[in-house]
Amino acid sequence: MFAASFPPAKLVIATRQSVLALWQAEHVRDRLRALYPSCRVDFLGLTTQGDRTVDQPLADIGGKGLFIKELEQAMADDRADLAVHSLKDVPMGMPQGFVLAAIMVREDPRDAFVSNAHRALADLPSGSVVGTSSLRREAQLRERYPRLRVEPLRGNVNTRLHRLDHGNHAAIILAAAGLKRLGFADRIAALLDPEDSLPAIGQGALALECRADREDVIAALEPLADVDTTLATAAERAFGHKLAASCRTPLAAYATWRGRELWLRGFIASRDGQRVLRGERSTVVADVGGATALGDALGTELLARGAAAILAEAL
């Protein structure tokens, strides 16, 4: 079917220009070059609205989807063939004409506690300032450690570490995956157990997006997909889609394998951590349809238990 165009002679990856985004694009480029030695792989570096606006919380300016719109426009204009995203930054509903062609094997999905003076959140003195860019982390921090001050922290990984090192915060919370990918694993004072800080939907996984009509690109990216990660994150994303939460709603979901069973945990809360709902379900999952059904069922359960009221408060 793809004899005339497969593998493609050239692929252009649209990418943000942060250090982490470039690492991710380079990782995908290297994998593609190994698969298709005759294929030329280039980058199209772009600056997104999410990158340009760093003085306001993401929830106030439109959410994480602001990191991908310009990349999608480049694909729509035929300036790029695919884009590499952190899956946690991809909205639950894909825009018409685009598809997530592959979800790659997941890095560590946990949150990381980073501090120069303390080894754990429990060690922080009352009133200590903890920085994070995530409403999900903020709500869980406020619920479990109400004595701490949580302040917004935007910018790339290097910028956030710089602010910590200059005394702006007693500690910061970042995704472990980004720190490990950039060689900053030694900055992690502690990895937060999902019981204490349930990860973001898709955290730690890379998603490869392309136009839905690019069958040649979809076929070229297929070998990069990891089945276990694809099914786990499909359940997480179905949970998020069912709740239809806005960027102003603290929301989390994390699915892990127990043999053939997929165990999904979900969380939704008010920003102040005063109203929290958690739930979990597990079932044997063999395909994306089964994973999606699992996420949908857990989302339906939380809606029946009062999630709708929490969602309404965020509007």
Q: Which residue has the tokens 């694809």?
A: 230
pLDDT, tens only, 27-60: 999 999 999 999 999 999 998 665 555 444 545 4
Who has greater pLDDT, 38 or 93?
A: 38
Assign 93 a pLDDT band (cuts: 50, 70, 90): confident
> C-alpha angle with apex 65: 59 to 67, nearest 5 degrees?
105
Tokens of 240: 């998020």
163: left (phi over 0), alpha (psi -120 to 50) or beta: alpha
Q: Which of 17-26, 41-50, 169-178 has the lowest mean pLDDT?
A: 41-50
Signed CA dihedral, 82, 198, 148, 113: sign only: negative
Q: Could you tell me the residue ranges of all domains in the chain?
A: 10-105+204-225, 111-192, 233-314
Which is more confidently placed, 82 or 272? 82
What pLDDT score was predicted for residue 315?
63
The candidate with the shortest Cα–Cα distance to 205, out of 228, 223, 182, is: 228
User: Has residue 62 got a pLDDT over 60?
Assistant: no
Read off the pLDDT of each residue in 247-274 and give the average, rounded to a whole number: 93
Q: Which of 302, 297, 314 is nearest to 267 (CA)?
A: 302
Pairing of strands 206-211, 82-86: antiparallel
- CATH class for the region spanning 10-105+204-225: alpha beta
**What are 214-244's pLDDT values in tens digits?**
999 999 999 999 999 999 999 999 999 999 8
For residue 1, the model assigns a pLDDT of 45
Sheet-wide strand order for 40-46: 40-46, 10-16, 82-86, 206-211, 98-103
**274-303 average pLDDT score:** 97
- Asked whether this chain's domains 10-105+204-225 and 111-192 adopt the same fold, the reply is yes
Catalytic residues: 89
247 or 296, greater pLDDT: 296
Give the residue, 302 or 66, on which the prediction is more confident.
Answer: 302
Q: State yes or no: pLDDT of 5 exceeds 80.
A: no
Question: What tens digit of pLDDT does each residue of 180-204 get?
Answer: 999 999 999 999 999 999 999 999 9
Using an 8 Å Cβ cutoff, are 131 and 172 in contact? yes
Q: What is the mean pLDDT of the chain?
A: 91
Burial class (CB in 10 A: 0-12, 13-18, 19+), 114: buried
pLDDT (0 to 100) of residue 173 = 97
How confident is the model over 4-32, as a mean pLDDT? 91
- Distance CA(279)–CA(293), nearest Å, equals 15
CB atoms within 10 A of CB 162: 12
pLDDT attached to residue 312? 85
At 302, the pLDDT band (50, 70, 90 cuts) reads very high
**Burial level of 78, CB count in 10 A (0-12/13-18/19+)?**
exposed
Looking at 3.40.50.300, 3.40.190.10, 3.40.1390.10, 3.20.190.10, the CATH number of the domain 111-192 comes to 3.40.190.10
Rounded to whole angstroms, the Cα distance separating 312 from 59 reads: 15
Q: Output the CATH code of domain 233-314.
A: 3.30.160.40
Residue with tokens 């238990």: 305
Stretch (H or E) spanning 49: helix 49-52
- Cis (ω within 30 of 0) for the bond into 7? yes
